[in-house]
Chains A and B, each alone.
Chain A
Amino acid sequence: MGDVSLDDQDVPGPGAPAPTGAVAPAQRGGTRLDPWFGAYAQRTHGMRASEIRALFAVANRPEVVSLAGGMPYLEGLPLEVIADAIQRLVTTRGTTVLQYGSGQGDEGLREQIVEVMRLESIDAHPDDVVVTTGSQQALDLVTRIFIDPGDVIVAEAPSYVGALGVFRAYQADVVHVPIDEHGLVPEALDEALVRLAQQGRRVKLLYTVPNFHNPAGVSISLERRPQILEIARRHGVLVLEDNPYGLLGFDGEPLPAMRSMDDDGVLYLGSFSKTFAPGYRVGWVVAPHAVREKLVLASESAILCPSNASQLAISTYLTTCDWQGQIKDFRELYRERRDAMVGALAKYLPQASWTVPAGGFYTWVKLPEGLDAQSMLPRAVTNRVAYVPGTAFYADGAGADHMRLSFCFPTPERIREGVRRLATVVNGEADLLNIFGTTKFEHPTDDVDSPGPDLA
């Protein structure tokens, strides 16, 4: 720290120099503590950290059982084997590993990605693949090249919170379509698209997480996949298939990806974050050639190129380790945790209902009538348990009667303890409702209500 005192730097008051031109004359004498407040773009105004988000700060303390985050259980990885391989990589190919790379991504890795996707029946060419910084960046790039403010994106109800954040940042209007235990409901999709067309709304994308949905835990059935593709094609809507969990099914073979049934109408997003390690931040998008061209250009303008170090580390892992065996181990581990979760829910929270996912990380719990998962969160913090309120997964303030519980990171024993604590929370809140009657809470739709990526 130099000789600049913090008060001068961060809290402009009288006597503290304001940045040139920063304070409008009308504000002189007062301060809003952010001299650039009037300068932000329209799309930034919704970016506010909510008190819900602040409550998640306790989630990484060991006393708290976090059923909130989506962190994979990395202790299951052969860390020493990976360390040796990475060391060899830097020693033998260091000048490549540490250099800029191709904007589209390393060609060798793209070839390997094509092999990975074959497990879900996708037949693609390495040229169709763009490597991104996690599939989250692919979401950002796709939204950037397709969405003008006010364009509609149709998404499942509920939908992945991280996607909703990207859509909001580009000022898309998200319209939710219902799902059931077999995933997105084709008839409801058709109705929504007809209705939107009648309203003269421009629908650009259908966003879906078809396998082991985040947060709902369900998958789109094999029968429904072609139906959904047909409906989207008929309405001229591009399908954005986000599939980070597809290989993490507990029973049987992976379902064929929607991309395997339609090369031109689907943008497919894949990721190594859930099946290997999110720390490398490597995901990808598969796109028809014209879209892919734009994605590469957009990616180069955003980040020049994805990290070579990360890509080659992943490539080395795929070459030198039994990655499919590792995924099998993960599946067993997560299945055991899923069983612990649903067993504990049946034991401690029989008055609630929940999905029993056949893969992935999450179960979606419907609370007893009248309970509000968001207003209940402070009580959960007091009781040392964390979850994500359902409101995070809707763009329209709905979802307060649900919560997402993750079973990926805590051990089965901790999961059972977490659900036991959660029952105390739910019962305490139910007592309160018995006393005061059911009350309806308004939930804002424009703030950030999910834990940060590092909190699980």
Chain B
Amino acid sequence: MSAPHPRVLVLAGGLSHERDVSLRSGRRVAEALRATGCEVLVHDVDAHLIDRVRSEQPDVVWPLLHGASGEDGSVADVLELLGVRFVGAGPRATRASWNKAVTKSIVAHAGVSTPDYVTLPQSLFSELGAATVLDLVVESLGLPLVVKPARGGSALGVTLVRSREDMARAMVTCFSYDEIALIEQAVDGTEVAVSVLATPDGLTALPAVEIVTDGPYDFDARYNPGRTEYFAPARLPDDVARRVAETAVAAHEALALRHLSRSDLIVRPDGSVEFLEVNTSPGQTETSLFPQAVAAADRSLADVYRSIVDLAAATPRRREAASLV
């Protein structure tokens, strides 16, 4: 076992579109963990990282990375190779959750409802002709649609499309971020985010956070306070609140996500729940949803972060928590 106050190496930054968000998340988690007595180091994902892990021998590494190598499983691979304990899912689970299309098929397989979709790479549009493919997609899935990069976060490159004419622009926006597009039926309803936390007694869902914006919950609405109103806990009847919690836990389990996750869900007007996507490294910035869920549960963020670290410190090395599918 580790010492009473574990030494934690927080990874923040990385060379991704979400570097800025990651740096902010990392700083906040580091501050909060220091308040609980942990010795916390913060490091970027760079050429010195492996040496730093070897020389510092942290009890736990917490990758607070958003996008690219931080969320595609490669950093988790390296941490396993280094034989160090870390917060978050193992490399295979992280990799599966990084691609929104793979995620959707795994949770659907586990019985969770998710909006109808197709995943199409840029190359297919040049091979088959963009207009023909887009006609077919719109004809088959209907409108409105959401076009998003299959891999990526913070709603970067995401467009809500209401008319066929807007599809081309949405595709160009999406493919500037990633070469694979996920085109999904847009579902009308209440947007909620449910954070799931592992505890020594099993998985627990934190209160759902409801998101109300005057437009799409895009990058601007996420990180500039004011445009979005949050309700935590979400204004849902008890049975629906229970259902969204169960949905998020089911997704977390199906994806083998270990210590924490955040699922983005839509509650339809009839109370049924649709799974949109999961975040294996939920944002921890001033405007992020995970910290709001913790506050809604009347818990101290520092204590929750510390419980995650303690749990990770007790997690066996170099093993996936569960096998996939």
Contact = CB atoms under 8 A, between A and B. Distances in A.
A440 B212 CA distance: 29
B224 A48 contact: yes
Contacts of B130: 435-437
Interface in A29-54: 29-34, 37, 48-51, 54
Interface string B219-238: 11001111111111101000
Contact of A436 (B20, B168, B219): B168
Nearest to A381: B17
A8 B230 CA distance: 16
Interface stretch (B74-82, B85-93, B188-196, B298-306): B298-306
A54 B21 contact: yes
B295 interface: yes
B300 A50 contact: no
B226 A13 contact: no
A139 B31 CA distance: 38
| A: contact size bracket | 35 or more
A37 to B, nearest CB: 4
A61 B292 contact: no
A180 B223 CA distance: 39
Most buried by B among A31, A431, A436: A436
Contacts of A6: 28, 31-32, 35, 291, 301-302
B72 to A, nearest CB: 13
Contacts of B168: 436-437, 439
Nearest to A384: B15
Contact of A51 (B46, B219, B228, B235): B219
B31 A50 contact: no
A378 B301 contact: no
Contact of A11 (B16, B175, B292): B292
Given A6-B32, A7-B295, A27-B229, A378 B21 contact: no
Nearest to B45: A61
A74 B245 CA distance: 56
A1 B15 CA distance: 29
B324 interface: no
B114 to A, nearest CB: 26
Contacts of B295: 7-8, 11-16
A379 B17 CA distance: 9
Contacts of B230: 30-33
A12 B223 CA distance: 16
Contact of B35 (A5, A432, A437): A5
Interface in A421-436: 429, 431-436
Interface in A265-295: none
B8 to A, nearest CB: 14
A55 interface: yes
Contacts of A436: 125, 130, 168-169, 171-172
Contacts of A37: 225-226
A57 B223 CA distance: 15
Contacts of B17: 54-55, 58, 378, 381-382
B122 interface: yes
A135 to B, nearest CB: 28
Given A5-B32, A13-B296, A14-B296, A33 B156 contact: no
Contacts of B294: 7
Interface string B259-294: 000000000000000000000000000110001101
Contact of B172 (A14, A29, A375): A375
A5 B301 contact: yes
A13 B302 contact: no
| B: contact size bracket | 35 or more
Contacts of A437: 130, 168
Most buried by A among B15, B224, B235, B295: B295
B34 interface: yes
Contact of B176 (A12, A13, A29, A379): A379
Contacts of B292: 11, 13, 31
Interface string A334-368: 00000000000000000000000000000000000
Nearest to B20: A57
Contacts of B44: 61
Contact of B229 (A16, A31, A54, A433): A31
A435 B232 contact: no
Interface in B14-71: 15-21, 23, 28, 31-32, 34-35, 44, 46
A15 B21 CA distance: 27
A454 interface: no
Contacts of B21: 54
A12 B291 CA distance: 10
B6 interface: no
Contacts of B227: 32
Contacts of B73: none
Contacts of A379: 176-177
Given A54-B20, A54-B219, A7 B229 contact: no
Nearest to B46: A61
B204 interface: no
Contact of B175 (A33, A432, A447): A432
A432 B176 contact: yes
Given A29-B231, A378-B17, A436-B172, A57 B23 contact: yes
A63 B46 CA distance: 9
A369 interface: no
A213 to B, nearest CB: 29
Contact of A5 (B13, B16, B231, B302): B302
B113 interface: no
A16 B295 CA distance: 8
A14 B232 contact: yes
Contacts of B20: 54, 57
A226 B231 CA distance: 62
B226 A32 contact: yes
Nearest to A434: B126
20 contacts: A1-B35, A5-B32, A7-B299, A7-B302, A11-B286, A14-B233, A15-B296, A15-B298, A27-B229, A31-B231, A33-B225, A33-B226, A33-B286, A48-B220, A48-B224, A58-B19, A375-B176, A379-B177, A432-B171, A437-B168
Closest 9 CB pairs of A and B: A13-B295, A34-B225, A57-B20, A7-B301, A51-B219, A439-B169, A33-B225, A57-B19, A37-B226
Interface of B: 13, 15-21, 23, 28, 31-32, 34-35, 44, 46, 122, 125-126, 130, 154, 156-157, 168-169, 171-173, 175-177, 212, 218-220, 223-233, 235, 286-287, 291-292, 294-296, 298-303
Interface of A: 1-3, 5-8, 10-16, 27, 29-34, 37, 48-51, 54-55, 57-58, 61, 63-64, 375-379, 381-382, 384, 429, 431-437, 439-441, 447
